[in-house]
Each structure stands twice: as structure tokens, then as C-alpha cells.
């Protein structure tokens, strides 16, 4: 099991302007992608998803208004999560990123080096993810 | 001008689009694919699309030189660093400052040098041989290999930390046999390219029959082989002879080439007898049931691996193609110990 399913209270993902925060999930594993997406939509967030780094980058470049936060896997085809985070930190300043790591892969150090705001190791609880998410979003909107 | 990346197949179009998106990121790139697919062409396309295009593009073939020589080529040396070093020499990393260093055949780099390369990638600093002074170079590292670096990591031949650091952006170029639709476009391109070197009257495009054979051929040497065949056709003056010379009779099916070699009958039998010593024909008896099970496992593993690799390990798509449930697929992946090749 990659994600621990837990009972959660479905509240709202509204930001301080009472609009749902816009999230981008990038993961080549469709199961994880859809689990996260379903959970976060139920929590009231506006959620977009992409299956690899390039698809994610294209959404980042074209979506208006831009995203409030990105959740990305690290080991993926074409642009790795580490690459995507590096690009985000250079081109989309201030956009927080949560990196999630997979089975026995060890690029976490690289993720921190390119300044991922949070690194979560699988398996992680959905409540843990939401906690990180809320914390990062609130500091983003506090600025 | 960069050599253009020729092809109208989806995979080549996707690579072109990809290059446009990442050429200015300056992030390390690893280009993989069989020999002759055009890894250097992709590296040069990246360079020419980047803001570094007016700076040096330095190529180093990591397989061509022995360890000591490769180290001095890459990092340079001070006068007196070794016998014969009568004057100091700048290394390729320093020469590639603000430009690109293209590390071809990175899979052949000896392990001790991998450590030094890792340090350069981490800090941009290195010390030339015989020098105590650190040199800083800002070179964009584009590496390429025809090996499976992920497998090399598992075998202890390649450093895992270096693998992840190189693998920030990866570009896989499929073999020509998997994109035969690119062959006519490539032929047109090379005919135009070589037209000035040969008698124009002798240059002709292959007719429909020859083209069909060319598209069905397995091209083990990929684009490089096609290029050489084309030059031969220009010298000889007709396609028929050249096409007949290709080992068409050995042509594997376009969709089956080496990925399916595990299905070779004799190989399966040998493997099974190896696996099950008690089943050896030298023994008085052996279990047909066990052999059948092993055979089915080998076939399942080959076919599932193939489909997973083709779908980029998209398990949902793979389960649909294989017409099995998602859960069954996950079970098979685990049961048959199918591992993802992280090159793609």
C-alpha cells in the first residue's frame, strides 16, 4: 500500500480569499494520482493532474491563474520530479512544492537541494499530506 | 547550424517538443538509446536551442580513453603532474565553461572517475591533476549512453548518487525499427545532404518495393546504418542491389526484435533445464507440469515487461492492453519480480 487510507473530515480547501486553492499533482502512477486527486477534490481544492514532468510543466506554463501548490513524484519519465522542482523554483518563484518519493528510490537529498518545501516518503497518510499542504498554503497566503 | 533531428514519428516529434521546453533550464540531461539512434544530434539540438549556443560545445567520449587519460582530458593537469606533462593543460570541463560538455558513453566511465564527476556536478569545482588549486567551471552537462544505467547501478558498476544527479532530465530515443515511418523522411534528408557529393543523375529514391523492404528491415545500427546504406546506394547507383544485400531474411518482425528474444524456443528450454536441475534430461524423469509453469512465467514476465515498458509503466493502460484486471497486473508484477527500467 502506497498511501495509508484514513478516516478524514472533509472540510474545505478554501484559501483566505474564499476561493478553492488550485493544486497540481504530478505522478506517473495513475493509482496514486487518482487517489490524491479524489481526496483533495473532496477536501474542496481545485485539482489538476499530470502523468509526467513535461505534462506538468506545460500545465504550469499555460494555466491561468497559476497554481497555488504542486505535489510531485520524484522518479518519473522525461523530466524527473527533481528537475520539475528546479524549474518551478527558478521560473515560478514562491510556488510551494511537496515532493513524494517512491519505492526504494533515494533522490530525496536532491529534492531538498533543489528546495522542495516538503519531502514525503511513501507510504504516507493522507492526513499527513493535508497537514503539510495547509501549512504551506497558509504561509504562502500570509506573505 | 545543428544537424536537424529528422523524423515524423510521434516519438521524434515528442523529443523535438521536449527539447523546446527544457533547453534553457541548464539541468543535467541523460540521453539514452541504442548505438546510432542520434544521441549526439539530440545533444546538439539542446545546445543550439539554449542560451549557451554561442559558447563551446565540447564532446568527450568516455569509452575511448583509458582511465588516467580520461581524467586528464576531463579535468586537465599541471606541469609536472606526471611524466611527460611538460606544460599544464586545461581540461574539457574548463574549456566548456559557460557552454556544454557532452559526455558520450557515460556508462563506460570508470568508477573512480565517477566520484570526481559527481563532485563537479555537486559544486562545479574540481582540481586538475597535480594541482592543489580548485578550478570552477559552469558547464552544462549532457550525458549519453546506450547502456541501461539503472541496471549498472544494481550491478555496482555505476554510482547510484551520480545516476540520480545525471538523470534529472532524460530523453530516450527509440530504435529505428520501432519507428519505421521515419525511414522515408530520413532517406529524403540524406539524399539532399549528399547530393552535392555524388552524381545527381545517379541519385534516385527507392521505389515502393525497395522502400517496403527498407521499412521492414530491423536496422540494428539504426540511423547510422541507414546513412551508410544510403551512401552505398549513391555509389552503386541503384537501390535494388543495396536492399537485397540487407539481411532481409534475418529480419525480425518490426514489433518483436530483441525485446522478445526470451521467447526463443531453445533459450526457454535451456533456461528451464538450468533453473530446475532436477528436471535435467539427464535425470530419469522430470516434471512436465513444473516446466509448463516455468514456461508460462517466463512468457508472462517477458510480455508484461514489454507492455509496461511500451506504456511507460502506466499500469492502467498496460492492464487494458493485456486484458487483465489492474489487480492481477499488480500481482504479476510483484510475483514475477518485474522491475521498472528507469531509463525511459
Least confident of A78-82, B67-71, B146-150, B185-189: B67-71
* Stronger pLDDT, B94 or A12, i.e. the higher one: B94
- In 3-state terms chain B splits into helix, strand, coil percentages (rounded to 5) of 55, 10, 35
Residue B247 confidence (pLDDT) = 53
B243: cell is 536492399
pLDDT value at position B277? 47
B268 vs B195, more confident: B195
User: Considering only CB atoms, which chain B residues are within 8 Å of A28?
Assistant: 312-314
Any CB–CB contact under 8 A between B165 and chain A?
yes
Alpha carbons B335 and B160: distance in angstroms, whole number? 26
Instruction: Give the number of residues written for chain A.
Output: 143
Label residue B259 by pLDDT band (50, 70, 90): very low
Q: Which of A32-36, B51-55, B177-181, B313-317 has the lowest mean pLDDT?
A: B313-317
Listed range (B57-66, B120-129, B266-275) with the worst mean pLDDT: B266-275
pLDDT at A37: 94
Q: What pLDDT, on the 0 to 100 scale, is given for residue A13?
A: 63
Of the partner residues A75, A78, A80, the one whose CB lies closest to the CB of residue B18: A78
Q: Residue A22's closest CA among A66, A62, A73, A54?
A: A66
Radius of gyration of chain B (CA): 24
Q: Distance between CA B67 and CA B74 in Å, rounded? A: 11
User: How confident is the model at residue B343, as a pLDDT?
Assistant: 44
Q: What CA–CA distance (Å, rounded) separates B33 from A15?
A: 46
- The whole-number average pLDDT for the span B112-118 is 92
pLDDT in the model for residue B107: 94
Distance from the Cα of A136 to chain B's closest Cα (Å) equals 25
| A88 min Cα distance to partner chain B (Å) | 10
Triad B176, B177, B183: Cα angle to 5°? 55
Task: Count A/B contacts: CB-CB distance under 8 Å.
Answer: 53
Q: Mind listing the pLDDT tens digit for each residue in B277-315? A: 444 444 445 566 666 777 788 888 888 988 888 888 888
**CA within 13 Å, CB half, B55:** 18
Burial of B215 (0-12, 13-18, 19+ CB in 10 A): middle
Lowest mean per-residue pLDDT among B16-20, B43-47, B114-118, B308-312: B308-312
Across the interface, whether the CB atoms of B169 and A79 are under 8 A apart is answered yes
Chain A residue nearest residue B18, CA to CA: A54
- Give CA–CA dist A127/B106, Å, rounded: 43
User: Which residues on A lie below 8 Å from B27 (Cβ)?
Assistant: 83, 86-87
> Which one has a higher pLDDT value, B104 or B193?
B104
**With an 8 Å Cβ cutoff, is A77 touching chain B?**
yes
Neighbours of B135 (CB within 10 A): 18
- The per-residue pLDDT for A88 is 95
User: Does the beta carbon of A41 lie under 8 angstroms from any beta carbon of chain B?
Assistant: no
pLDDT digit string, tens, across residues A86-125: 999 999 999 999 999 875 556 777 887 788 999 988 888 8
Every domain of chain B and the residues it spans: 10-174, 177-256, 265-335
Are B133 and B94 a contacting pair, CB within 8 Å? no
d(CA B173, CA B37) in angstroms, rounded, equals: 7
Average pLDDT over residues B323-337: 83
Architecture of domain B265-335: Orthogonal Bundle (1.10)
Helix crossing, B111-123 with B67-75: angle to 10°?
20
Cα–Cα distance, B52 to B139 (Å, whole number)? 10
- Section B15-31 average pLDDT: 94
Among left, alpha and beta (phi > 0; psi -120 to 50; other), residue A100 is beta
Whether complex ipTM tops 0.85: no
pTM: 0.75
Q: How far away is chain B from the Cα of A17, in angstroms, using its nearest Cα?
A: 33
**Furthest C-alpha separation in chain B:** 73
Question: Sorting pLDDT into bands at 50, 70 and 90, what band is B29?
Answer: very high
What CATH architecture is B10-174?
Answer: 3-Layer(aba) Sandwich (3.40)
Residue of chain A whose Cα is closest to the Cα of B170: A78
pLDDT, mean of residues B246-271: 48
Quickly state the pLDDT bin for B53 (edges 50, 70, 90): very high
Ordered by where they begin, the domains of chain A are 22-138 (3.40.50.2300)
Mean pLDDT, range B83-89, rounded to an integer: 81
d(CA A85, CA A113): 10
For residue A124 the three cell numbers come to 504516507
- For B177-256, the fitting CATH number among 3.40.50.1220, 3.40.190.10, 1.10.8.60, 3.10.580.10 is 1.10.8.60
* Cα–Cα dist B343/B340, whole Å: 9
Q: What are the helix (H) ranges across chain A?
A: 30-42, 53-62, 81-91, 108-113, 126-142
Decide if pLDDT at B344 tops 70. no
Cell of A32: 496514486
End-to-end CA, chain A: 37
A35 touches chain B (CB under 8 A): no
From chain B, pick out residues whose CB is under 8 angstroms from the CB of A82: 164, 168
pLDDT band at B262 (very low <50, low <70, confident <90, very high): very low
pLDDT value, residue B100:
97
B51 touches chain A (CB under 8 A): no
pLDDT digits (tens, 9 = 90+) for B133-163: 888 999 999 999 999 999 999 999 999 999 9
Whole-number average pLDDT of chain B = 83
At residue A41, the pLDDT reads 95
- Residue B278: what pLDDT? 43
Residue-wise pLDDT for B207-249, tens only, equals 888 888 889 888 999 999 999 888 888 777 777 777 877 755 4
Give the CA count within 13 Å in the CB-facing half-sphere of B268: 18
Please provide residue A137's backbone torsions phi and psi, each rounded to the nearest 5 degrees: -70, -40
B251: nearest Cα among B220, B222, B230, B224 = B220
- pLDDT at B61 (0 to 100): 95
d(CA B14, CA B309): 17
Nearest chain A residue (CA) to B162 = A107
Q: How far is CA B143 from CA A53, A108, B42, in A?
A: 19, 22, 11
Query: B169: distance to nearest CA of chain A, Å?
Result: 5
Amino acid at each position: 500500500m502506497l498511501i495509508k487510507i484514513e478516516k478524514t473530515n472533509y472540510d474545505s480547501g478554501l484559501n483566505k480569499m474564499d476561493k478553492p486553492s488550485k493544486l497540481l499533482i504530478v505522478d506517473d502512477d495513475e493509482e496514486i494520482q487518482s487517489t490524491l486527486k479524489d481526496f483533495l477534490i473532496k477536501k474542496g481544492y481545485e485539482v489538476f493532474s499530470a502523468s509526467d514532468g513535461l505534462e506538468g510543466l506545460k500545465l504550469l506554463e499555460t494555466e491561468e491563474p497559476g497554481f497555488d501548490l504542486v505535489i510531485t513524484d520524484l522518479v518519473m519519465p522525461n523530466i524527473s520530479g527533481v528537475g520539475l522542482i528546479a524549474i518551478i523554483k527558478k521560473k515560478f518563484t514562491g510556488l510551494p512544492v511537496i515532493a513524494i518519493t517512491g519505492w526504494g528510490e533515494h533522490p530525496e537529498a536532491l529534492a531538498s537541494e533543489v528546495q522542495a518545501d516538503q519531502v514525503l516518503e511513501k507510504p504516507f497518510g493522507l492526513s499527513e499530506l493535508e497537514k503539510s499542504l495547509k501549512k504551506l498554503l497558509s504561509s504562502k497566503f500570509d506573505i | 547550424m545543428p544537424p536537424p533531428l529528422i523524423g515524423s514519428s510521434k516519438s521524434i516529434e515528442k523529443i523535438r517538443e521536449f527539447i523546446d521546453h527544457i533547453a534553457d533550464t541548464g539541468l543535467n540531461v541523460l540521453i539514452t538509446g541504442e548505438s546510432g539512434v542520434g544521441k549526439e544530434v539530440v545533444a546538439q539540438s539542446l545546445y543550439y536551442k539554449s542560451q549557451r549556443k554561442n559558447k563551446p560545445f565540447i564532446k568527450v567520449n568516455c569509452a575511448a580513453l583509458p582511465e588516467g587519460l580520461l581524467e586528464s582530458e576531463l579535468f586537465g593537469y599541471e606541469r609536472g603532474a606526471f611524466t611527460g606533462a611538460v606544460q599544464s593543460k586545461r581540461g574539457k570541463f574548463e574549456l566548456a565553461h559557460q557552454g556544454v560538455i557532452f559526455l558520450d558513453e557515460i556508462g563506460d566511465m570508470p568508477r573512480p572517475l565517477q566520484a570526481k564527476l559527481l563532485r563537479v556536478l555537486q559544486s562545479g569545482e574540481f582540481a586538475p591533476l597535480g594541482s592543489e588549486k580548485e578550478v570552477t567551471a559552469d558547464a552544462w552537462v549532457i550525458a549519453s549512453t546506450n547502456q541501461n544505467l539503472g541496471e549498472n547501478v544494481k550491478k555496482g558498476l555505476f554510482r547510484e548518487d551520480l545516476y540520480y544527479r545525471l538523470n534529472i532530465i532524460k530523453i530516450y530515443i527509440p530504435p529505428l525499427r520501432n519507428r519505421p515511418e521515419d525511414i522515408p523522411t530520413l532517406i529524403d534528408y540524406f539524399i539532399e545532404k549528399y547530393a552535392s557529393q555524388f552524381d545527381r543523375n545517379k541519385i534516385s529514391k527507392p521505389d515502393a518495393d525497395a522502400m517496403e523492404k527498407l521499412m521492414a528491415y530491423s536496422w540494428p545500427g539504426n540511423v547510422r546504418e541507414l546513412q551508410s546504406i544510403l551512401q552505398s546506394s549513391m555509389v552503386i547507383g541503384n537501390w535494388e542491389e543495396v536492399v537485397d544485400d540487407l539481411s532481409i531474411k534475418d529480419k525480425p518482425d518490426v514489433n518483436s526484435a530483441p525485446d522478445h528474444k526470451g521467447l526463443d524456443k531453445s533459450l526457454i528450454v535451456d533456461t528451464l533445464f538450468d533453473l530446475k536441475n532436477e528436471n535435467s534430461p539427464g535425470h530419469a524423469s522430470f516434471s512436465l507440469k513444473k516446466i509448463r509453469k516455468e514456461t508460462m512465467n517466463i512468457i508472462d514476465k517477458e510480455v508484461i515487461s514489454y507492455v509496461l515498458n511500451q506504456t511507460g509503466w502506466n499500469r492502467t493502460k498496460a492492464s487494458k492492453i493485456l486484458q487483465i484486471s489492474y489487480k492481477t497486473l499488480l500481482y504479476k508484477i510483484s510475483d514475477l519480480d518485474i522491475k521498472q527500467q528507469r531509463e525511459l
